[in-house]
Amino acid sequence: MAMHHQVLVIGGGNAGISLAARLRRWKVDDIAVVEPSSQHYFQPLFSHIGAGAARMREAVRPQVDIMPAGVEWIRGRVVDILPESNVVVLSGGARISYGHVVVCPGLQLDWHRIDGLTEAISSPACSSNYDAALATKTWELVQGLSSGTAIFTQPAGPAKCAGAAQKIAYMACDYWRDAGVLQEIDVHLVVPTTTAFGMPEVDAELERKIDEYGITLETSTSLAAVYPEEQAVMLTGPGEDRQLRYNLLHVVPPQSAPDWLKATTLPAAGDRGGFVEVDPGTLRHRRYSNVWSLGDAAGTANSKSGGALRKQAKVLAKNLRAVLRGGKPKAQYNGYSVCPFTLSRGTAFFAEFDTGYRPKPSYPFLKMAKERRWQWIMDRHVFPQIYWRLILKGRA
């Protein structure tokens, strides 16, 4: 049976659901979301789960419960987009034609790009909060460590909420300090940047905590290989490559657009990450006027995060609605992104910035990078509620 939808959304994650809900609220008819997973995850809670500050059941809901009323859910996996013929192909071969397509299937975790990491991740001493199935393992490893070496790594290149690699390091140190064992643990935080984050104000606050916890900050350094049998990593940085043994390894893998998306004609020529080539302001494709993208899979220069796509969803919905009514896309996304840095299991601050890592604070009268209790409460308790109740309903 031939299928056609006026608006077809690929991916029912944070971006796809919040956009579809907003469009539906604005009376756009005939919207369908293609989504293979029966579960929907609120990924920012994974950091808290890894530190024992949240349970997985708080981060997951059945997809059927969050699908907006009046939006059709197509339970399938997209394997190709043919923008010249306005067709999307599903894994079973079904073809769906569209008036407009919004591409937001998120990021792919490229474990294979680091030697030994695919094997390491299922070995006893290695974990990653970036896999829903492993966040609870992280917490078990943190609780089980009372001496030795703990290594936390952040990858170079695009990543969702890149600072999440650091959040777990600070929260684990806080736990170990409370448990009275922090001084027995040699903690290394491996970052690709020349400073902890890349914004002077943020760096100063992070480095204050790094000193307080006695963490060794390895700047301009990347994880080159993991040898799970020996519980060792190879780090590549400014000096000679060197091996370091570990008792706990928390890895954030390199990330890119899904392979099937890379193979379409939607990415810009030469974009090895494979992201959809959109105008970064309007979020409309530069070459195909009925193709749009937002969220982690969009080829925008902002730091990828749920906070960034919340702004993008409003812009894209406005522009798509205008075009559907025969108008022009006038709304512009300004490159805003945010990273909530949890500095302990009870304090945090929000780094808010634009594509040039210039501060973009929501509350300019507050010093942005300052450890606060209420910002942790926002991140841990308030945002999940805002997510389920407002963002996924296209209301925030």
In the complex, the residues that contact ligand FAD under the rule CB under 6 A are 10-16, 34-37, 43-44, 46-47, 77-78, 104-106, 129-130, 160-161, 164, 258, 295-297, 304-307, 309, 338, 340
Question: In the complex with ligand FAD, which residue's Cβ is closer, 120 or 308?
Answer: 308
Shortest distance, position 91 Cβ to ligand FAD, whole Å: 8
Question: In the complex with ligand FAD, which residue's Cβ is closer, 68 or 340?
Answer: 340
Shortest distance, position 165 Cβ to ligand FAD, whole Å: 9
Question: In the complex with ligand FAD, which residue's Cβ is closer, 77 or 245?
Answer: 77
Question: In the complex with ligand FAD, which residue's Cβ is closer, 21 or 309?
Answer: 309
What would the two tokens of residue 38 be? 């029966």
CB of 321 closer than 8 Å to CB of 289: no
Shortest distance, position 99 Cβ to ligand FAD, whole Å: 18
Question: In the complex with ligand FAD, which residue's Cβ is closer, 129 or 221?
Answer: 129
Shortest distance, position 385 Cβ to ligand FAD, whole Å: 14
* Closest by Cα among 134, 110, 109, 132 to 121: 134
Shortest distance, position 239 Cβ to ligand FAD, whole Å: 30
* Three-state DSSP string of the chain: CCEEEEEEEECCCHHHHHHHHHHHHCCCCCEEEECCCCEEECCCHHHHHHCCCCCHHHCEEEHHHHCCCCCEEECCCEEEEECCCCEEEECCCCEEEEEEEEECCCCEECHHHCECHHHHCCCCCEECCCCCCCHHHHHHHHHHCCCEEEEEECCCCCCECCCHHHHHHHHHHHHHHHCCCHHHEEEEEECCCCCCCCCHHHHHHHHHHHHHHCCEEECCCEEEEEECCCCEEEEECCCCCEEEECCEEEECCCEECCHHHHCCCCECCCCCCCCECECCCCCEECCCCCEEECHHHECCCCCECHHHHHHHHHHHHHHHHHHHCCCCCCCCCCCCEEEEEECCCCCEEEEEECCCCCECCCCCCCCCCCCEHHHHHHHHHHHHHHHHHCHHHCCC
Q: Which of 104, 126, 173, 339 is catalytic?
A: 339
161 in catalytic set: yes
Question: In the complex with ligand FAD, which residue's Cβ is closer, 36 or 148?
Answer: 36
339 in catalytic set: yes
Q: Which of 104, 126, 161, 173 is catalytic?
A: 161
What would the two tokens of residue 56 be? 């997985």
Shortest distance, position 188 Cβ to ligand FAD, whole Å: 19
CB of 335 closer than 8 Å to CB of 298: no
* 215-243 CB burial, b ≥16 within 10 A, e <16: bebbeebbbbbbbbeebbbbbeeeeeeee
Shortest distance, position 258 Cβ to ligand FAD, whole Å: 5
> Which residue in the shown chain puts its C-beta closest to ligand FAD?
13
Question: In the complex with ligand FAD, which residue's Cβ is closer, 258 or 299?
Answer: 258
Q: Give me the active site residues, please.
A: 161, 339
